[in-house]
C-alpha cells in the first residue's frame, strides 16, 4: 500500500510541475487526479479484500462426573482459504479440578513438532508447538492434539489459551489467529461412565505422559 501512495504522490507532483510550466490545462489536471484517486481506492480495496483469519478452540462435552476421563481436542480452523503452517499454544487448566493424563497426537494435522507436547499438573499447563509442512493446512476442525483429562472434583472449570499463535503459510510467519475462546465445563457427582480413549493412541503418534 505504501508503494501505491508513493506512486500517487509522484504522479501528483509531476503534473503540478507541468501545470506550472503551462503544458497541461488545470481542468485536465483535476480530471486526472480524480481518476487516479478512483484507481487508488479500487486498488486499496482489492488489497484489503483478503482478510487473514484463523481460530483455535476446544472440542469436548459440556459436563463430566468425578473420576471420569475424557478427551479434549485442540482444534484449528481457517477462513478465506487461508493456509497455515504452524500452531503454538500454551493451555491452562485448574489442577485442583482436572488432572491431565496424557496428550495424544493421533489424527493430528501436525507432522513435525518444534518441541514434543508437554504438560505439568503442578502448574496446570500444557504446551503445544508444531509445524504443518507446505502447502500447510486449510479448512475447518483441524485436530492439533487431544488432551486426556481426569475429573478430580466437582464445580465449574475452564480451559484457556494463555498464549497462542497460528502462522500463515505466506513466507512471512504472519500470525493470523483472530479468536481463541475459553471453554467452560461442568464437573459433577455421579457414576463416571467409561470413555474409550484407546482410539486416540497409535504407534506412529504416541501419547505424551508426565508425572
Grid coordinates standing for 16? 503540478
* H or E, element range at 13: helix 2-20
Residue with cell 504472519: 174
Between 168 and 32, where is the model more confident?
168
* H or E, element range at 29: helix 26-48
Q: Where would I find the beta strands (DSSP E) of 66-140?
A: 69-78, 84-92, 98-104, 112-120, 125-131
Preceding peptide of 135 cis, ω within 30°: yes
Residue-wise pLDDT tens digits, 156-203 = 999 999 999 999 999 999 999 999 999 999 999 865 544 444 333 322
Mapped onto helix, strand or coil, the DSSP state of residue 69 is: strand
Residue-wise pLDDT tens digits, 106-161 = 999 999 999 999 999 999 999 999 999 999 999 999 999 999 999 999 999 999 99
pLDDT reading at 56 higher than 50 = yes
Highest averaged pLDDT of the listed ranges 17-21, 31-35, 190-194: 190-194
Amino acid at each position: 500500500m505504501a508503494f501505491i501512495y508513493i506512486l500517487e504522490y509522484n504522479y501528483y507532483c509531476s503534473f503540478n510541475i507541468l501545470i506550472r510550466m503551462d503544458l497541461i490545462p488545470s481542468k485536465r489536471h483535476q480530471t486526472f487526479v480524480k481518476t487516479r484517486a478512483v484507481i487508488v481506492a479500487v486498488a486499496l480495496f482489492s488489497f484489503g479484500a483478503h482478510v487473514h483469519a484463523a481460530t483455535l478452540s476446544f472440542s469436548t462435552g459440556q459436563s463430566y462426573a468425578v473420576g471420569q476421563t475424557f478427551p479434549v481436542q485442540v482444534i484449528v480452523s481457517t477462513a478465506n482459504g487461508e493456509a497455515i503452517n504452524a500452531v503454538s499454544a500454551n493451555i491452562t487448566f485448574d489442577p485442583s479440578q482436572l488432572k491431565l493424563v496424557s496428550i495424544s497426537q493421533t489424527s493430528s494435522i501436525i507432522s513435525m513438532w518444534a518441541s514434543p507436547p508437554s504438560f505439568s499438573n503442578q502448574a496446570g499447563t500444557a504446551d503445544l508447538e508444531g509445524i504443518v509442512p507446505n502447502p500447510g493446512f486449510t479448512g475447518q476442525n483441524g485436530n492439533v492434539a487431544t488432551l486426556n483429562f481426569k475429573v478430580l472434583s466437582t464445580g465449574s472449570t475452564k480451559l484457556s489459551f494463555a498464549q497462542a499463535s497460528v502462522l500463515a503459510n505466506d513466507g512471512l510467519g504472519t500470525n493470523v489467529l483472530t479468536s481463541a475462546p475459553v471453554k467452560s465445563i461442568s464437573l459433577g457427582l455421579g457414576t463416571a461412565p467409561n470413555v474409550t480413549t484407546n482410539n486416540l493412541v497409535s504407534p506412529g503418534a504416541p501419547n505424551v505422559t508426565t508425572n
